[in-house]
Structure formats: C-alpha cells, structure tokens
Structure 1
C-alpha cells in the first residue's frame, strides 16, 4: 500500500471516530446565516459557492465560514461554525486567499448559527433547482435543495436566493 492510501485511510478513520465520539463533523462548504438560521452550501471547488455567498452577505446575510464548516450536535441542535485554523480566511478564484476582515464588514461576520438547511450545488447539463429533499447529518434530518449549474457556469446569487426561498417555504 502506498503512503497516500494509508494517510487517506487514517484520515477517514479519524473523521469517523470524531463524528461518533465528539458528535462533530467537518464538511467542505461555505456557511452563512440568515437571522438565526444557518445555511450550508456544499459542492465542488470552483463552482461559485464562495462568490455567491459573498454577494449574499452584501444583501444582508452573515458570513460564518469558507471551505471547511464544522458541525457539532449540541443538545439535539446542529451548530455550524468555521474550522478554527482557517475561519479567518476566504478563498475565491479571482482574489485567491484573503483575510476575511479585508473582504467583509465585521458586523456581517458571525462565529456560529444553528444549521437549518443545506444547499448542494452540482454540475448539470442545465440550470435547475430541485424540489425540497432531505439530508442527514449527525443523525439529524435537514431540508436540502440541490442546485444544478451548467458545465460552464457558476452559482450566481440569484440562484442561491431562489434555493433559499424554496427552503424557507418548507420551514
């Protein structure tokens, strides 16, 4: 076995143990808050999650984290925050890695929120937004909407807004 395979296996085992013992999971994505409701955007790198989330912040949402979102189950509630090692940074394809303080008004930053729903962005042949679905994180069901982005496109703020609106309609 190669060292790469051994490291990947060890990393996955550590993640499983952390999830079971500490009721915590770290996911690739961007975390926002709207009022008291946390939103997790997941999807492949470079699809536009961070750029759309930055635009949402300009329209009144609060920024929690970029790239790594930490979700903890605390007394039956899922709390979402940033990974402590990188929470102070934001990465976009256009700007590279930058300090969050340089890109955001401090009043629009937040340490954590209760996770209310998930938006999963994926590559598709055409732009689409799914009907509300469900996903399970740390043994908790959450509303999920999947947003399809054409192969040459990126997640735009209006698509993000439409997905959030669809999730708000179901609770």
Structure 2
C-alpha cells in the first residue's frame, strides 16, 4: 500500500485556512514535490503535474489578473484536475472567484496562508519528505555509541538487549529495543526510532521489561538516530572462518540503502558490549581516514619485501 498524507494533516500542521473544498480534505497527497503553475497560467498544460500540490504566489496571481474572464475560467478548469490534492494561495492574497467556483464544484480544497511562497513551499516539502519517506521495521536493537548509530541484529536470545543494557550503563544511549522503525530520506540516509508503545523500554530475559529513561535518566535515551553501522550477532561456528584483520567490508541493504555490516561471533566469555563499543570507535576512525588493519597490512608487506631483499 502506497504511503500518503491527507490534506487535512497539512491544514493542521501549517494552520492553513480552508477557503473552499472542505469535503475534499481527505484527499491523498502521494508525492512530496510541489508545483508553481507559471506556464499553465499562460495556457500551456502539456506537462502539467496534476498530482502535486499547486502553489500560487504573487507572480502567478498578478499574471492571472491580466487575463480575460474567459481565459481565467479556462485556466482554473484545467488547474483543478481530478488528481490535484489541493491548491495553496500564499501571502494572504485574494482568492479569485473563478478558482472558488471550480474548486467548490470539484471538492478540491483551496488553502490560504499569510506566509511567503518560498518559505511555505520549503516547509511543506520538508514535512512531506518526512511523512512520505519509505519505511520498514526490523527486529533488533538501535543504540547510539559515541555518535555512531549501531543497529544490533541477530537471532532471538543471542544477547542483543543485554548488550544494549551494558552499553547504556557505560554511558551510551538507547533508541529502540526489539522493533526498530526505519525510514529512508531523499538522500538515502536511514533513520531509526522505536514504536510509541515500546519507546524507552528494554526487555531483559529473567528480569522483565525495564524503562531505561526512568532507571538511568533522560541522557540514556534518544528518540531517533541515523543508522550508519549494522552489527549482526551470531553463535560462534567452529567451522566458520571469521575476519581477523578487519579488511573485509560487508554491507547489508535496508530499503534501498547499503549499510556497512559487521558479523560478531558470540560465545561464553566474550564481552559483547565492549566489542560493540570498540567496533563503533574503530568505524569512526575509518571514516576519519585511519584504517589500522590496512596500515598493518602495508607494514607487513614492506617488512616481507625488505626480508626478501636481504635474502637476495
């Protein structure tokens, strides 16, 4: 099912005035892009994007006033298309009678605002991009470790929540436990948050559900965080070969975005919280240009090369 936003939500969010078309407030807005129909006011409708919110500012309305009565009615008949969710008039400008007439007949909301055209368009675009962003829900734990959004995944009972609890005790912050809602922004960044029902809650087997904010304070939680690293916990396999240098770089695809993936083998005696903490710090160092594994490999290659020269 495609994500959409009701026109009524837009009216409530930005305190817009409904001039006509109250019965059309349940129309769906399906795209975040807005449109200023300048060419259409001149009569060119060949590529008119009728599915977008139409914004009329001072430029459009000044030109419209210069048209004949017949041309005005023609423009508004074409502007109020079947798929048009709503039409916004900015700067507190007067609403043309032709627009009121056609929009009222077709139940297309005409909304008024005193805000400037550019400002309103920017605010609405940001709001819609957030609301219409692709979303998914994954099973895991999201924590903020030294500013790195770490999504911890793995099978049930592997130790995700216990690791998150230890990280919180070490001064890091919990975003979500068990279910992480993820949305992808227009620039392909992933942001995670907890569903409202389980926000700030952590489930520890044998103890039960605890409220992290109540136990550790407001500084131990945050509402959302950009996900930049995924750590997959799995039971240690005796026959499986694990990366010991850190040169292999895996990724995992969430929605349409590739995210770095680290696989952490779990067995008794391993302090997962410390490993996750160090991995997050090492990830930050790599992003700053320092790769310890690569430097070690280069030094090793140089040493072998020198030894070979000595033998020759």
Q: 1:137 aligns with which of 248, 254, 259?
A: 254
Contact 1:47 1:153 in 2 (8 A): no
Structure 1 residues 44 and 94: CA distance shift in structure 2, 3 A = same
Residues in 2 aligned to 1:35 and 1:161: alpha-carbon distance in whole angstroms: 8
Structure 2, unpaired ranges of 5+? 4-131, 288-312
**Bigger relative contact order (CA 8 A; separation at least 6):** 1
How do residues 152-171 of structure 1 correspond to structure 2 at under 5 angstroms?
156-171=272-287
Q: Kindly state the Cα deviation for residue 22 of structure 1 after the two structures are TM-superposed.
A: 5.0
SS, match of residue 144 in structure 1 = strand
Q: Give 1 or 2: higher strand fraction.
A: 1
Q: Kindly state the Cα deviation for residue 116 of structure 1 after the two structures are TM-superposed.
A: 0.8
How do residues 75-154 of structure 1 correspond to structure 2 at under 5 angstroms?
75-76=186-187, 77-125=189-237, 130=243, 131=246, 132-150=249-267
Q: TM-score, normalised by structure 2?
A: 0.44
Q: Kindly state the Cα deviation for residue 100 of structure 1 after the two structures are TM-superposed.
A: 3.0
Q: Give 1 or 2: higher helix fraction.
A: 2
SS, match of residue 85 in structure 1 = helix
Q: Kindly state the Cα deviation for residue 35 of structure 1 after the two structures are TM-superposed.
A: 4.8
Are 2:158 and 1:42 aligned?
no
Aligned to 1:9: none
Residues in 1 aligned to 2:142 and 2:279: alpha-carbon distance in whole angstroms: 15
What number of residue pairs does the alignment pair up? 153
Q: Which has the larger radius of gyration?
A: 2
Q: Kindly state the Cα deviation for residue 128 of structure 1 after the two structures are TM-superposed.
A: 8.4
Structure 1, unpaired ranges of 5+? 1-13
